[in-house]
Structure 1
Amino acid sequence: MNAMTEQPQEKPQLTEAEQKQKYNFNKLVKRLRHNVGDAINDFNMIEDGDRVMVCLSGGKDSYTMLDILLSLQKSAPINFSIVAVNLDQKQPGFPEHILPTYLAEIGVEHRIIEEDTYSIVTRVIEEGKTTCGLCSRLRRGILYRVADELGATKIALGHHRDDILETLFLNMFYGGKLKGMPPKLVSDDGKHMVIRPLAYCREKDIEKYSAAREFPIIPCNLCGSQPNLQRQVIGDMLRDWDKRFPGRLETMFTAMCNVVPSHLADPKRYDFVNAKADGTPRADGDKAFDRETFSDPSRISILSSKPAASACGDAS
């Protein structure tokens, strides 16, 4: 053997700060994978043989969703395929090369759809008015059409837990409805299944993950539209609560998974008209004389608060 043969070089030791950073990132990855996996299982989002169309906007949420789904795909007990789709709506300044380049580099099947909805929206909507409503309707119709063309059985959107809570409060404060954003739903035309795999994921976790993975983020303000001020107000309120009252958002999301129609006030959801005191004990009866007990919000587990057959998932 040649005495001059180079010996394998030892890997440099990580500093204490680097070890801590690596440890925290691994915990973050595990938590996100766990939350996405729980959401998929609890709502039967993805089934064997599914073709999942992942809608990629270029923001932190959709990048994270695609990344986690690709990771889970390798270890899932079922087989499903993924196709990433981006809709280039021709906003001025949109960096159209970023997503195709990124998707080609990671080897993901993808399709870029070019539809000039920007011109339509700016022509129809009065200057100074928010364009988000019309823009989203046009975008949704295009995505449904593309799902048909690609043979997709599921359409995956990147909404997370905070988006779902924001929508709940938006509907309560401004719409007069107790309505959120479901993790899984059938489209208006009844032909498509929409899923939200990040339903149990916290936005702050997604932000950390996206930063660590260094995704090529595309800014979301290219259209020049005014922000949705109502959603901004709600978002600020939730972030303030999360900062001042740790665990409150977890508790609120748990509440969305533990609905008791008999203790609300919607006669279309519960038959108040024909309710009778017939002497039969009932699980949904009024415990008017029972003392209410409340847990520490930071210790509440959604899974432990619901029957196994209808568990909503652990969002902590």
Structure 2
Amino acid sequence: MNSPTPALDADALKAEQKAQYNANKLTKRLRHHVGDAINDFNMIEPGDRVMVCLSGGKDSYALLDILLGLQKSAPIDFSLVAVNLDQKQPGFPEHVLPAYLDSLGIEYRIVEEDTYSIVKRVIPEGKTTCSLCSRLRRGILYRVADELGATKIALGHHRDDILQTLFLNMFYGGKLKAMPPKLLSDDGKHMVIRPLAYCREKDLERYAEQREFPIIPCNLCGSQPNLQRQVVKEMLNDWDRRFPGRIETMFRSLQHVVPSHLADPTLFNFAGLALGGALPDEGGDTAFDREEFHDPQPDADDRPARPVISILDSRPKDSACG
């Protein structure tokens, strides 16, 4: 048998090095996106106990993985506890998540609640189940957060989820509303955070493949025909393919809101506008002037002031945790 030629060995080594370089680059990018989101919205503070909601999907796996990495080097101390809600869907592989979490050696809890039967009984056949399923999950997770003493509840929604929600609310709800990266519950007792708010779904898909997470599909949601969110997702993906950069620009628009140039009298005092009075928000007088549209660039001056200590900073060696 002939041994591989030196040229083939060199090509294989070069390909392996390139793959490793791209993998490291992706990890670094996601880590920085998560760190920036945490800093911009002050998501995690010293002493926090963060409950990471783990569904078995790529996003929540990535969330837990990245937070574990940040926890080891962050200049602040915070703890993590992973929680999975087993909704008793038929065929759900109950052993997968406990085995994975045991391999990580971290604290976790598996919560068993048969919300699947409730949803199937209440929602007529052919209707989407997401709304009821989400409400049931939320109530259970709030209760578990109290039991665990969690100060923050971390969800795995990413940038694409936030944009999809924006368009869903515009198309079907008549509201200019998305998913906020940080949310206080209606009763004021729970703080929900979305550290993946700046992360692209396509990056998370690649990261999940790279890390070989044991993905568990959600058949309850994915099997529903004519799901409105799926329609909006396909629309945005089509825009992304045909107009690269448009998704990034749309997301930045959520961070550059000009109330005086919308039409909500509860956000801006249109009725009180008077000649010689207070000037409206920056954005220019576009009543008569021709507007010039361009791709806005991130501007540090337009972003919220970040804490002096960044979660991306390295922990001082003398106080590093093992």
Aligned match of 1:92: 90
Aligned match of 2:297: 301
Alpha-carbon distance, 1:132 to partner: 1.5
Aligned match of 2:311: none
Alpha-carbon distance, 1:302 to partner: 2.8
Mean Cα deviation higher: 131-140 or 195-204: 131-140
2:39 is the alignment partner of 1:41: yes
Alpha-carbon distance, 1:29 to partner: 0.5
User: Which of 118, 121, 124 is 1:120 aligned to?
Assistant: 118
| Cα offsets for 1:89-135 (capped at 9, x unmatched) | 10000000000000000111100000111111112122222222111
* Counterpart mapping for 1:1-20 below 5 A: 15-20=13-18
Alignment-mate amino acid for residue 162 of structure 1: D
User: Which of 167, 176, 179 is 1:178 aligned to?
Assistant: 176
Change (3 A) 1:281 1:229: closer
SS of the counterpart of 1:54?
Answer: strand
SS of the counterpart of 1:309?
Answer: coil
Q: Distance in 2 between matches of 1:292 and 1:286?
A: 9
Mean Cα deviation higher: 36-45 or 180-189: 180-189
Q: Distance in 1 between matches of 2:240 and 2:55?
A: 27
Mean Cα deviation higher: 135-144 or 124-133: 124-133
Mean Cα deviation higher: 185-194 or 277-286: 277-286
Aligned match of 1:276: 274
User: Which of 258, 261, 267 is 1:260 aligned to?
Assistant: 258
Aligned match of 1:248: 246
* Counterpart mapping for 1:125-164 below 5 A: 125-164=123-162
**Structure 1 runs of 4+ with >4 Å offset:** 222-225, 279-283
Q: Quick one: higher RCO (CA 8 Å, sep 6+), 1 or 2?
A: 2
Q: Do the aligned partners of 1:94 and 1:222 also contact (CA within 8 Å) in 2?
A: no
Could you say what the CA RMSD is over the residues aligned between the two structures, in angstroms? 2.1
Tell me the TM-score normalized by structure 2. Answer: 0.87
Q: Distance in 2 between matches of 1:280 and 1:89?
A: 54
Quick one: percent identity of the two aligned structures?
A: 74
Alpha-carbon distance, 1:188 to partner: 1.8
Change (3 A) 1:199 1:228: farther
Alignment-mate amino acid for residue 262 of structure 2: L
Q: Distance in 1 between matches of 2:192 and 2:213?
A: 24
Change (3 A) 1:256 1:303: same
Aligned match of 2:3: none
User: Which of 68, 73, 81 is 1:75 aligned to?
Assistant: 73
Aligned match of 1:197: 195
Change (3 A) 1:222 1:121: closer
* Counterpart mapping for 1:228-243 below 5 A: 229-243=227-241
Alignment-mate amino acid for residue 117 of structure 2: S
Alpha-carbon distance, 1:223 to partner: 6.6
Q: Distance in 1 between matches of 2:180 and 2:281?
A: 26
Change (3 A) 1:183 1:228: farther
Q: Do the aligned partners of 1:93 and 1:222 also contact (CA within 8 Å) in 2?
A: no
Alpha-carbon distance, 1:305 to partner: 6.8
2:55 is the alignment partner of 1:52: no
Aligned match of 1:4: none
SS of the counterpart of 2:219?
Answer: coil
